Structures are given as C-alpha cells and as structure tokens.
Amino acid sequence: MKPITFSLLYFYFLSYFIKPAFSEVLQSIVITGNKKTSESAIIRSGQIKKGSKLTTEALETIKENLGRINQIKIKDISFKNGILSIVIEEKWTLFPVPMITNSGSYKNRGLIIYEDNFLGSLGTLAQGISWSNSVFNYLLYFQNESLIQPNVGLKFLLMKKSDYVEFKRFDKRVSLFEIQNFSVLFTPNYLYKNNVFKAGPIFIDKSIYKDKIKLNTDHATGLFFRHHLNYFQVMDVMYEGYVTTFDFYALKKKNSQNVFQNEANINWSYPFYKSFINLGIHGYNSNDSTQFYAKNIGGEEGYRGYDKVSFPISQNIGYFFQYQQHLVKNFFFSPFYEYNRSKLILSTLNGKRINENTIGAGIRYYFKKISIPAVMFDYGRNIEDKSNHFHLNIGVSI
C-alpha cells in the first residue's frame, strides 16, 4: 500500500472546505411570500434572466441585488435542478412622513404620504404639502429605476417650494429675500452595474420677494443630467462604502441667456462596531451669480455653519468629517467638523469670497434600513463668523 502523498492530502483538504462551483441553466423562478409585490418587479430588480446560465458568482450577485431592495426582506434563496426559489417577507411601505424644519428664520411644517412600493412595482410615490414661513408648498414625486426593464426606469418631479434666505455676518443681517420656485422634471434613467445615469427635460419658474413684495420673476427650460455611483452594502441604518453624485443643469433663461450649473458630492460611510465614521467632499459652480440661480445652502450635513437656505452662493468647495456614536437602538450622537470656501452671489457683499470652519454636534434618529435621519438636531459654531446655529428637522426636508 502506497503512502498518502502531501498532494493527495491537499486535494482532500480543498474538497472538504471549498464549496464547488456550478453552472446550470436557470429554467424557472419560484417566488413566495409576495402578497403585494409583483414577481416581475422582483425579477427586474434582482436582474434575474430566465434561460441564462447561473454560476456560483451569478447567484451571489442576484442575492446582493435582492438584498438591496428596501421594501422586502429576503428570508431564503436556493437554486436546485434549474429552479431558483426565493422566499421573501414584505415590509410596510405606505406611511406618513412629517416635514418639520426649524432653522434660524426658516420654518416649514407639512406632511408627505410616502408609498415605497407603488402598485407592487417597488417604485416610490410621494405626495406632500407644507407651509414654509408664509408660502404654501407641494410635492409630487415618482421614481422607479427598474420600471421598464431591469436597467431602465424613470423619475418624475413636480414641486413648488419657498426658500427664505436671511444672510447674516456677525449676527447682523446683510440681505433678506425669498425665492418661490416651481419646477417640473422628467428623467428616464439607465443602470450600468453600480452606475445610475439620468437625463431629461426640466422647467423652472422662480420669483424673488422681499417683504412679500415681488421684485422680479424669471423662468428657464433646459436639460438635467445626473450620474450616481451607488457602491455600498445595505446595513440597518447606514450604507457602507461610498456614494457619489454629479448633477449638471443646462438652462436657457427667458432673456435667452444660458445658465450652466455643476454640483458634485462624494460621501463615505465606514462602520466602526455599531458606530460610523462619515467623510464628505462637496463642490458647486454656476456661471450665473444672481438670486435666481444661486445655490442656497445651510443647516444640513455638509453646510451647518449657517441657518437652512441662508447662504446664497455661485461657487463652493468644502469637506466635512463626522463621527456617529451609537447610543441606543437607532439613536446616534454626532460630533462634526467642516470647512467651506465659497463665493457669494453679486447682490450679497458684491460676491465676496469667504473661507470658514464649523464645529458642532448633533443627535440623529434613523429610519431602519434607510440612511436618511428621521429626527435630526444639530448645533453648529461658525468659527470665523462667531455665530451659533441650531437646526431641527423631523422627517423629510424639501
């Protein structure tokens, strides 16, 4: 009897511990547990192709795709004898979401009815109304990125909103105006791996008010383009990895002047036990420096050195660092630091450039499985401006 060689022992070891790969034709798909969600929507979102060869790697990709669907919970996935079996549990997807914002002189109160599985298609339909300062706002939003084909969908937005812009320096008011904005946007989209491409027509109508008196009005039509890189693993309350967004607007004003706007954001989320480290870089540029097409920022993550929509700029670049310490359940304590270099619009300090640093801390409560905070309270200290800012947001902010 020959002695067992090292090579043979190594082969036995690999055979025991390593799962063999397979390649088999997917003949049928059986989905159970879907009382509301259509089978076609699950198959589209999972990018499952009947009749294709299903390998070990392809099956893992399908599991990952299905795991990213927030509206359902995957209980079991198995593949045997050409049959892919998927067992799901549906979540409650129709719920009211409040819109409550308090930040400096800006106030907003309202409600959105949020349907995250509209007609079982895994699409989102949101209808909302609110009252901000002295203006009535409304919103109609629909999005389904896999409505037509697994990688083809659309987004529609109809919105009327008001931004109350009160810019201050060293607690002294420099400028005050209100922008009332009506916009319509329709963008078909195309998915390629983790890339989302959206492009379509947009119409914007804006009016500028001061002390409830209309100063001017303008409207623009054009094209909107967005590239979104969605490279992450879904976690209970926060994504892991990085997300990038690039927006481009090409608009023509009523006087035939062209307006070009570029905005880019890169955000990282890194889990640290039950806590998170968040990093972000953001930038904005517009060739128009009027009140009509200013970027009005402040009071949200990345722009907390001012009250909400109180900082009218034509250019900006900045970054932030935030640590989110888990407290209990979905509550987090969030100290932060951020930097912004910005160019104001011409009607505010003649377009002055300012460099500012902000430090602060806040409390977050997150919707489960959604990385948007349900309750957010922030305190920010603008170091250069020597001003303090408190922000409260419950639910959705528009």
Count of alpha carbons within 13 Å of 378, Cβ hemisphere only? Answer: 34
DSSP code for 351: G
User: What is the per-residue pLDDT for 208?
Assistant: 94
What type of residue sits at position 69?
Answer: I
User: What is the per-residue pLDDT for 95?
Assistant: 84
Q: Which residues of the chain have pLDDT under 50?
A: 1-2, 4, 14, 17
User: Is residue 191 within 8 Å of residue 151, measured between CB atoms?
Assistant: yes
User: What is the per-residue pLDDT for 275?
Assistant: 94
Measured between alpha carbons, how far is 28 from 84 in angstroms, rounded to an integer?
6
Token code pair at residue 127: 């209808």
In this structure, the number of other CB atoms found within 10 A of the CB of residue 149 comes to 11
In this structure, the number of other CB atoms found within 10 A of the CB of residue 210 comes to 12
Kindly give, in sequence order, each residue whose CB lies less than 8 Å from that of residue 80, ignoring residues fewer than 6 positions away.
Answer: none
Position of tokens 């570029």? 262
Token code pair at residue 22: 């397979």
DSSP code for 350: G
User: What is the per-residue pLDDT for 370?
Assistant: 60
User: Is residue 292 within 8 Å of residue 178, measured between CB atoms?
Assistant: no
User: What is the per-residue pLDDT for 2?
Assistant: 47
What type of residue sits at position 314?
Answer: S
- The three-state secondary structure class of 49 is coil
User: Is residue 229 within 8 Å of residue 248, measured between CB atoms?
Assistant: no
Starting at the edge strand found earlier in the chain, the sheet holding 83-90 runs 28-32, 83-90, 72-80
Measured between alpha carbons, how far is 354 from 306 in angstroms, rounded to an integer?
13
- For residue 292, give the nearest of 212, 391, 180, 193 by alpha carbon: 180
* Domain architecture of the chain: domains with CATH: 22-90 (3.10.20.310), 94-395 (2.40.160.50)
Planar angle of CA 85, 88, 89, nearest 5 degrees: 160
What type of residue sits at position 380?
Answer: G
User: Is residue 374 within 8 Å of residue 363, measured between CB atoms?
Assistant: no
Kindly give, in sequence order, each residue whose CB lies less than 8 Å from that of residue 257, ignoring residues fewer than 6 positions away.
Answer: 288
- For residue 308, give the nearest of 75, 145, 102, 11 by alpha carbon: 102
Residues 371-378: contacts with CB under 8 Å, at least 24 apart: 371/237, 371/238, 371/239, 371/269, 372/396, 374/330, 378/299, 378/304, 378/334
DSSP code for 47: T
Environment class of residue 32 by beta-carbon count within 10 Å: exposed (0-12), middle (13-18) or buried (19+)?
exposed
